[in-house]
Amino acid sequence: MKKLMVLLLVAVVFVACKNEPEIDYALISGQIENPVDGTVNIYKGKEKISEINLDENNAFADTLRVDRGYYTFVHGRENASVYLAPGYELGLTLDTKEFDESISFTGPGAEVNNYLAAKYLTDENMSGSVSEVFAMEEQAFLEKVNALKDAKVKLLDDAQNIDDEFMVLESKNLEFEHLTNLQQYPSYHEYFAKKDDFKASDDFLKLLDGVDFTNAEYYQSLSNYKRLVQNHYSMTLRESDHPAEIFEVLKTSASEALKTDLARMLNYEVGPNNEHNEAYYNGIMAMSSDEELKAKLTRKYEKVKLLAKGMPSPVFENYENHKGGEMSLTDLKGKYVYVDVWATWCGPCKREIPYLKEVEAKYHNNNIEFVSTSIDKAKDHSAWVEMVKDKELGGIQLFADNDWNSKFVTDYAIEGIPRFLLIDPEGNIVTADAPRPSDPKLVKLFEELKL
């Protein structure tokens, strides 16, 4: 009888264990010193999966239904990479005055996330500015990125109590990050070192040979692989004389996630200087299921067809002139007009100012007018007035009538700034996407026009 009771007890325990629900959630809680607002957010890629309110003690807590993988913790304008998995019980502390340096984790899953925090600091301390690193000559660049990769690999190897699944995934992530740096070097070096038509040495990209760009699992789980794949296809399309053939392959073989992302990315490639606009338009329309994106792209495509060289330029009328009065494009007929579309809040726009001043000075007495058109919002009008004065901006300084929604801006299909336009003395388009003042190609263009 006693033996039977023991067997029954064992059976009951077995059934209880068997029926215990599998944990499919992670717990995250924490405390923020010197918070900048009242919430923290958790993202998976671009999707917000949780918005958590801080209590009166600046603490937060939430239960998250998550798949194992990389996420982003966001507070204010700062963010940190985190790794979540069912069963994790993360405690997080940070001080916004030293966000990256102060972030720390405790509890199950802490080892992985403290490694990620240390990796970010390694990156920050060793990487240097993008412009400086990619302007380096090949050998110096390779030494830089190889040292960075080695430091991160050592950091991962030295981390304690890291589970095998994360170790394998993160090792792949570091490898794909390194390959992405190599992949981007030729085009970035051409831009930052100002070397027209730069080509890397024959062996420089050999590590990219044989990379599988079709791994749907990696594409979903590894941000660096996603960047590598997106760059690969956008570069391949850009360099191809027959992009329609590549779009056809993508339509039938790419994952739905990749097609969705590429459609959003390549939408911006449809523009005045793309000789393959039709192939891009048809390819994106075939790949995308986003009706709003397709409708927007169709409107843009119809406008871009009207922006070819020699077509009558869209015009602006009665824009406020910083020097007083108003000005229209027709007032400048008889001269070439180089238009800089910019705004006071735009960092890349402001970086072009010294170069624009140099070009203006060089061609001051020639048959060309330099027009800078601000698309600042009406509420920022005074900021425009003051910046023009403080930076002693030359040329003709105008204020658009309706910021991004100004008809001139929308007719030129402008979606990002700075944007530069060149119009001939008859009011026709020379180029609807002219070189920037910092680009030596601008002076070459002026020389070809005998300005």
Tokens of 140: 């110096």
Q: Are 64 and 28 in contact (CB under 8 A)?
A: yes
17 is catalytic: no
Q: Which residues pair with 94 in a beta bridge?
A: 32
Q: Under a CB-based contact definition with an 8 Å cutoff, are residues 114 and 104 in contact?
A: yes
User: Among 346, 430, 449, 451, which one carries the catalytic annotation?
Assistant: 346
8 A C-beta contact, residue 78 and residue 99: yes
Measured distance CA(383)–CA(344) in Å, rounded: 7
Tokens of 180: 């992405």
The C-alpha atoms of residue 230 and residue 207 are separated, in whole angstroms, by 17
- Residues paired with residue 62 on neighbouring β-strands, in sequence order: 28
Q: In which order are the strands placed within the sheet that holds 25-33?
A: 59-65, 25-33, 89-95, 104-106
Rounded Cα distance between 432 and 10, Å, is 80
User: Catalytic annotation on 346?
Assistant: yes
Q: 139 Cβ partners below 8 Å, 6+ apart?
A: none
Task: Out of 52, 287, 349, 356, pick the active-site residue.
Answer: 349
Distance CA 172, CA 446 (A): 48
Alpha carbons 325 and 138: distance in angstroms, whole number: 52
State the virtual CA torsion across 319, 320, 326, 330 in degrees, nearest 10. Answer: -30
Torsion, Cα 141 72 227 135, to 10 degrees, reads -20
Cα–Cα distances (Å) from 287 to 77, 105, 259, 278, 297, in that order, read: 33, 42, 6, 14, 13
Contact 30, 19 (CB under 8 A): no
Per-residue b or e along 316-328, where b marks 16 or more CB atoms closer than 10 Å to that residue's CB: beebbebeeeebe
Sign for the pseudo-dihedral over CA of 349, 75, 52, 87: positive
Residues labelled as active-site residues: 346, 349
